[in-house]
Amino acid sequence: MSRELEKTYSPKDLEGRLYKKWEKNKYFHAKADKSKKPFTIVMPPPNITGQLHMGHALDNTMQDILIRYKRMQGYSALWQPGTDHAAIATEVKVIDKLKKQGIQKSDLTREEFLKHAWDWKEEYGGRIVNQLKKLGSSADWDRERFTMDEGCSEAVKEVFIRLYEKGYIYKGSRIINWCPVCKTSISDAEVEHQEQAGHFWHIKYPIAGEEGKYVEIATTRPETMLGDTAVAVNPDDDRYKDLVGKMLILPIVNKEIPVVADAYVDKEFGTGCVKITPAHDPNDFEVGKRHHLPEINVMNDDATINENGGIYAGMDRYEARRAIVAKLDELGLLVRVEDHSHNVGTHDRCKSTVEPMVKPQWFVKMDELAKPAIEALKSGRLKFVPESFGKTYMHWLEGIRDWCISRQLWWGHRIPAYYCQECGEMTVAKDKPEKCPKCGCTHMVQDEDTLDTWFSSALWPFSTLGWPEKTEELDYFYPTDVLVTGYDIIFFWVIRMVFSALEQTGTEPFHTVLIHGLVRDSQGRKMSKSLGNGIDPLEVIDKYGADALRLTLMTGNAPGNDMRFYWERVEASRNFANKVWNASRFIMMNLGEEEIKEPDFKDLKPADQWILSRVNTLAKDVTENMDKYELGIAVQKVYDFIWEEFCDWYIELAKVRMYNREDPQMKADSALWTLKTVLTNALKLLHPYMPFLTEEIFCTLHPEEETIMLSDWPVYQEAWHFAKAEDAIEKLKVLVKGVRNLRAEMDVPPSRKASFYMVSEDEGLLEEYDRLKENYGHLFGAAAFAVQKDKAGVPDNAVSVVIPNAVVYVPLEDLVDMAKEKERLEKEKAKLQKELARSNGMLKNEKFLSKAPAAKVEEEKVKLEKYKQMMADVEERLAQIQ
């Protein structure tokens, strides 16, 4: 039979031990089993530079809940894990480590640097995986992948070549985001826009050939005027219609640039005249293309001014800005300077200000690739939970620009393009060509750039399953089912996975995207290093256990909504774990050694039928919530059932029978069977949320079972539906609460027993309460309980509790010591007499009534009425006693 639980619940003592057991027995491993339905989730790959934070904890807890749920439902449930090489982040870490050793990146060859990078990956790359294991993540670690492993790298090259051959990948000069610190291009998704205090510099651009005439432009970046190639006005702006086609003198540079008409210009903003610098602004770039304007890049890779900047060459961009503004002022061309707060693009990694630049890069042409991804959502084949995030997805896709995929880094997938050193011919191929296909030269050099990290992770749902090979896993587990991710990553990753999967596999990579919010601090602020308000999940686990953290993250959680982290809530979750542990321990201590057989359900007591019926309904409700991804609602129902209905009510009802086992009328075995059965089902429903706690209790309760995670998920059974018993126990609860409230109001000690008389004209109701009277002594101290149609035999001084269709009377002397109560009431009466005399005196005092504020007079009148009512109650109680 069952063993005993340890006296005290100690997550530290069991979590590590249980996780080793799970891994050793390969419970997380999913097989391509044709007799089962597959269910697949791919883990958003954390960076190998990563440290577990609350976002990871929430994201992975939600995935683990879904996987454990589906595993128990009998699916072959694969949670495919892996890590991302995180090109920029990792390269920065490696460079920092080398600097501490006195080594500069420039001192090394590419091959030497990559050796250091791989060493770093081996040393630190598994850190976050081990941290995810502490959280209880039941991912199939046997299948763990890395974005730069051999298989994923093969998939990257395959996709690159396919897209290139279809004309979707091209190399060209376009405006990109350039990080002057990391010295690489970055995607739009990696640019964070921050509100910063700046200025608007209003500058005169003289009109060529018209002495003393000029147009006024306003700019936040005067240094870029060195690369201006036009000034634009709105074609419908009557102020400037005569200017279109004329030439202006570009200050300082002293060259002529045209005035062009373009609808991009907002007539109402600024002066209505906009300087156009195609090489340093994405909108200006598009205007430049429409008007065939030259693109003049005036900056070096480190954001210093290049040779196109004339006398400012070599200056830092901000140094040049100050010098140019001073020169404009000297020339009388600076009109004024206004304070102006505006959004400034910064690199999300190094936080430096991004510089838009025209540079030759590799791009993915997005217009055709975006169309099937749009159709996937419109058709319903892809859905978001909550649905509203589909608008974000659609907005991004409908306005998508070509994707810059090249990065000027060494760590990452190197672009599979090779250049002939003789004739310059470019060849795109998986492997280095032996010779140039054009001139036959054997001197071929590979492109220096690597691919954007998101290019490889866009293939994650299928590359991790063996694509482009036709593997058994790919055939069985793909497409995957649900992607769980934060709302801040929709554009980064979700969109790229969808269009990549549709292009390469012909199907959506998943049918549902479950969006969660951010975990914020208790004040609602985003957790960040700068604020110092981050909470380390490992610290929470160490202090309270992984289960308490998981429950806290899911309690009150609604898809798409941010949540606040409170330590008090973690303590409440730990207290719940203690409650479950102690209740389970009590049950096991009473079970004994003999196996308890399932009773005939007709012979079950109403309380047994009630709790069976309640856990039965709970299984149905929780399953429905889980299927709708309402994970927070589901766990709240389980929590409420265990704490209130099972522990606070049913166990208390069952105790009466535990204490009277020799009485056959008590049917103690039925209660024990019910306790064990309901606890088993409640543990199963709780397991996806609190895996360690439930595993330890379940396997102690059922030593014949290997693990709870492979047990069957509870399903609704009509045989367990007892509507009549549910109604009866709900009525009992109303009675118990009413009597307990009465005793509390009268300050009756728990040890004092009393006689109770229930009076009702409803014979059926009386019969129901009579059947349950064995519980009343234990639940509210009943020495005797009579049910009757009238008040015959009920003492005149009995106090009453009104419940639906009945009144319960209790003789006053059973509740209180009459002599002491009389003495107490006499003292209360004397005190009230003084207050009444005082209040009556004030309200009859003309001086008080004429001088006191109306509010004060009204307040005294209210007090008088209250004292009168209190006096009436006291006198009535005294009359009852006498």
Mean pLDDT (10-residue bins), the chain, 882 residues: 81 96 97 96 92 91 98 98 93 92 94 95 91 97 97 97 98 92 84 85 95 92 95 94 94 95 91 94 94 96 94 95 96 92 82 91 96 97 96 92 93 97 94 93 95 96 97 97 89 91 98 92 80 87 97 91 91 97 95 84 91 98 98 98 97 87 77 96 98 98 96 97 94 92 85 91 90 86 90 86 90 80 84 92 90 89 90 82 70
Amino acid at 21: K
Structure tokens belonging to residue 463:
């590359």
Cβ 444 vs Cβ 418: under 8 Å: yes
- Give the whole-angstrom CA distance, residue 509 versus residue 487: 18
Residue extents of the structural domains in the chain: 31-168+367-387+450-516, 184-356, 546-721, 726-816, 819-881
For domain 31-168+367-387+450-516, give its CATH number from 1.10.10.10, 3.90.79.10, 3.40.50.620, 3.30.420.40. Answer: 3.40.50.620
Fold of 184-356: Isoleucyl-tRNA Synthetase; domain 2 (3.90.740)
| pLDDT of amino acid 656 | 85
| pLDDT of amino acid 457 | 95
- Give the whole-angstrom CA distance, residue 706 versus residue 700: 10
| pLDDT of amino acid 389 | 94
- Give the whole-angstrom CA distance, residue 364 versus residue 384: 25
- In CATH terms, the superfamily for domain 546-721 is Isoleucyl-tRNA Synthetase; Domain 1 (1.10.730.10)
Cβ 771 vs Cβ 730: under 8 Å: no
Specify binding-site residues for ATP: 529
- β-partners of residue 195 are 343
- CA of 600: how far to CAs of 432, 577, 609, 719, 878, in Å? 77, 33, 11, 11, 54
Whole-prediction pTM value?
Answer: 0.87
Which helix (H) or strand (E) segment is 177 a member of? strand 169-179
- Which residue, chain included where needed, has tokens 């809940």? 65
565 backbone dihedrals φ, ψ, rounded to 5°: -100, 125
Other CB atoms within 10 Å distance of the CB of residue 299: 24
| pLDDT of amino acid 772 | 87
Cβ 549 vs Cβ 135: under 8 Å: yes
Contacts of 675 (CB under 8 A, 6+ apart): 587, 590, 591, 650, 651, 654
Structure tokens belonging to residue 447:
């492109």
Q: What is the DSSP letter of 665?
A: G
Closest by Cα among 253, 258, 241, 249 to 210? 249
Q: What angle do CA 69, 75, 79 make, to 5 degrees?
A: 70
Closest by Cα among 682, 680, 668, 684 to 607? 668
Structure tokens belonging to residue 861:
């009148």
Specify binding-site residues: 529
Backbone CA torsion sign across 457, 460, 462, 465: positive
Asked if CATH classification 3.30.2320 holds for the domain at 726-816, the reply, yes or no, is yes
